[in-house]
Amino acid sequence: GAVVSQHPSRVICKSGTSVKIECRSLDFQATTMFWYRQFPKKSLMLMATSNEGSKATYEQGVEKDKFLINHASLTLSTLTVTSAHPEDSSFYICSATVAGASPDTQYFGPGTRLTVL
C-alpha cells in the first residue's frame, strides 16, 4: 500500500517553456502532498506543502509564480515549472501523507528528472 506515482519520470525541455509534473497517490487518499527538489549529491529541499482544495504553502526562497502547485483532489497534485531555465534542472520528488495514518510519515513518488536545455 501507500504507492505514489509521478509522471513523467524524465523530461527534457527548451528554456522558456513550461513543464507540468503530476503526483498521484494510487491506493490511498493523501491528506497532504509535498514537493521537493534535489540537486546532485544534495539532500531534499522542501519547496512547498499542499493540501487538497487550498493554496500551497511555499518555503522561503521558492517563487510561487514560477512553481505553480495545484492540488485538485485527494489523489492528485501537480507542479508546473513555468518559463523553465537551465538552473531549474533538477530531480523533483513528491511525497504524500496518508489520511488517517501517522501524519509525519511520508511516502515518496519515484521522482521526475527535469533537464532544461
CA dist., res. 50 & res. 71, Å (int): 6
**What is the sign of the dihedral through the CA atoms of 95, 98, 99 and 102?**
negative
Measure CA of the first residue to CA of the last residue in the chain; give whole Å.
Answer: 37
CA dist., res. 11 & res. 35, Å (int): 17
- Answer whether 77's CB lies under 8 Å from 25's CB: no
Smallest separation (angstroms) from other proteins to the CB of 43:
4
Smallest separation (angstroms) from other proteins to the CB of 117:
20
Pick the closer one to other proteins by CB: 8 or 110.
110
- Residues forming the site for other proteins (CB under 8 A): 32, 34, 42-44, 46, 49, 91, 93, 97, 102-111, 113
Pick the closer one to other proteins by CB: 65 or 104.
104
Pick the closer one to other proteins by CB: 68 or 107.
107
Smallest separation (angstroms) from other proteins to the CB of 51:
9
